[in-house]
Structure 1
Amino acid sequence: MTVHTGRFAGKAVLVTGAAQGIGRAVAERIAAEGGEVVLVDRAELVHGVAEALREAGGTAHGVTVHSVPVHSVTADLEAYDGAVDAVGAALAAAGRIDVVVNNVGGTIWAKPFEHYTAEEIEKEVRRSLFPTLWTCRAALPHLIAQGSGTIVNVSSVATRGVNRVPYAAAKGGVGAITTALALEAAPHGVRVVATAPGGTEAPPRAVQRGPLPQTEQEKAWYQQIVDQTVDSSLLKRYGTLDEQAAAICFLASDEASYITGTILPVAGGDLG
Structure 2
Amino acid sequence: MIFAGRFAGKAMVVTGAAQGIGRLVALRAAAEGARVLLVDRADFVGDVAAEAEGEAHGFSADLETHEGAAAAMAAAAERFGGIDILINNVGGAIRMRPYVAFEPAQIEAEVRRSLFPTLWCCHAVLPHMLARGGGTIVNVSSNATRGINRVPYSAAKGGVNAITQSLAMEYAQAGIRVVATAPGGTAAPERRVPRNPDGNSAQEDVWMHDVVNQVTESSFMKRYGTLEEQAAPILFLASDEAGYVTGSILPVAGGDLG
Query: Normalization by structure 1: what TM-score?
Result: 0.93
- Distance (whole Å) between structure 2 residues aligned to residue 147 and residue 154 of structure 1: 23
Equivalent residues of 2:83, 2:132 under 8 A apart = no
Q: Is 1:213 aligned with 2:212?
A: no
Amino acid at match of 1:23: G
Pick the aligned partner of 1:242 from 224, 228, 239.
228
Residue pairs, 1:92-103, within 5 angstroms: 92-103=78-89
User: 1:214: how far off?
Assistant: 2.4
Amino acid corresponding to residue 148 of structure 1 in structure 2 = G
Q: Confirm or deny that 1:75 pairs with 2:61.
A: yes
Determine if contact 1:213/1:222 at 8 Å carries over to the other structure: no
Asked if 1 retains the 8 angstrom alpha-carbon contact of 2:27 and 2:51, the reply is: no
Task: Show the counterpart of 1:65.
Answer: none
- For residues 155-179 of structure 1, the C-alpha deviation after alignment (integer angstroms, 9 at most, x for no partner) is 0000001000000000000000000
Q: Who is 1:199 aligned against? A: 185
Q: Which residue of 2 aligns with 1:48?
A: 47
Aligned length: 257
Shift of 1:145: 1.8
Q: Displacement of 1:41 after TM fit? A: 0.2
SS in structure 2 of the partner of residue 150 of structure 1: strand
Q: Which amino acid aligns with 1:264?
A: L
Asked if the contact 1:71–1:93 (Cα under 8 Å) also holds between the matched residues in 2, the reply is no
In structure 2, the partner of 1:130 is 116
d(CA) in 2 for partners of 1:108 and 1:241? 19
For residue 238 of structure 2, what is the aligned residue in structure 1?
252
Aligned counterpart, 2:107 = 121
CA contact (8 A) 2:27 2:49 kept: no
Q: Tell me the CA shift for residue 9 of structure 1.
A: 0.4
Q: Residue in 1 aligned with 2:34?
A: 35
Q: Which residue of 2 aligns with 1:62?
A: none
Which of residues 138, 154, 157 is equivalent to 2:140? 154
Q: 1:25 maps to which residue?
A: 24
Give the deviation of 1:94 after TM superposition. Answer: 1.4
CA distance in 2, matches of 1:14, 1:204: 24
Letter in 1 for 2:62: D
Sequence identity of aligned pairs in percent? 61
Q: What RMSD in Å do the two structures reach over aligned CA positions?
A: 0.7
Deviation of 1:222 (Å): 0.3
Could you tell me which amino acid in structure 2 is paired with residue 255 of structure 1? E
In 2, Cα distance between equivalents of 1:41 and 1:224: 30
Could you say which residue in structure 2 is the equivalent of 1:222? 208
Provide structure 1 residue ranges, at least 5 long, that are not aligned to the other structure: 59-67
1:96 Cα deviation after fit: 1.3
Read off the aligned partner of 2:20 and give its amino acid letter.
Answer: G
Cα distance between partner residues in 2 of 1:43 and 1:95: 25
Instruction: For 1:145 and 1:258, locate their aligned partners in 2 and report how far apart those are by CA, in whole Å.
Output: 21
3-state DSSP class of the match of 1:244?
Answer: helix
* Cα pair 1:19 1:41 within 8 Å, conserved: yes
| Inter-partner Cα distance in structure 1 for 2:133 and 2:4 | 26
Distance between the aligned counterparts of 2:128 and 2:51, measured in 1? Answer: 29
How much does 1:91 deviate? 1.1
Cα distance per residue 1:227-270 (max 9 Å; x no partner): 00000110110000011000000000000000000000000000
Q: Please, what TM-score do these two structures have when normalized by structure 2?
A: 0.98
Q: How far did 1:52 drift?
A: 2.3
For residue 231 of structure 1, the aligned residue among 195, 217, 223 is 217
Contact 2:166 2:247 (8 Å CA) reproduced: yes
